[in-house]
Amino acid sequence: MLSGNERSSGSQVTMADEAGDGAQSDLLGELARLREEHRDLDSAIEALERSVAGDQLQIQRLKKRKLTLRDRIYHIEDALTPDIIA
């Protein structure tokens, strides 16, 4: 038979797992949003580059934002990938 401490520690593990699942789903949601914004920036940059009077400063700002998004995407993907113990 389990003592009160053993039972409560078991339920704490379950709550911690659920909190981890919630954090992971939050990261997956943010990852999807960032990927979508990254694709949108791609389209915007292409449209500006094709236009006759493309604003070079605006294009550079969009490209910088795109790189920032890519860094954040890689960071989140790394956080979601489990560490492999060799």
In a domain, 63, yes or no: yes
Domain tally for the chain? 1
Residues 6+ apart with CB under 8 A from 41: 62, 65, 66, 69
* Alpha-helix runs per DSSP H in the chain: 4-50, 56-80
In a domain, 22, yes or no: yes
Give the pLDDT confidence of 67-85 residue by residue, as tens digits: 999 999 999 999 998 888 7
Residue 24 has pLDDT above 60, yes or no: yes
In a domain, 1, yes or no: no
- Could you give the CA distance from residue 66 to residue 58 in angstroms, rounded to a whole number? 12
pTM: 0.67
In a domain, 31, yes or no: yes
Structural domain for 27, as ranges: 7-80
Give the pLDDT confidence of 37-74 residue by residue, as tens digits: 999 999 999 999 888 777 889 999 999 999 999 999 99
Of the candidates 78, 84, 77, which has an alpha carbon nearest to the alpha carbon of residue 34?
A: 77
In a domain, 2, yes or no: no
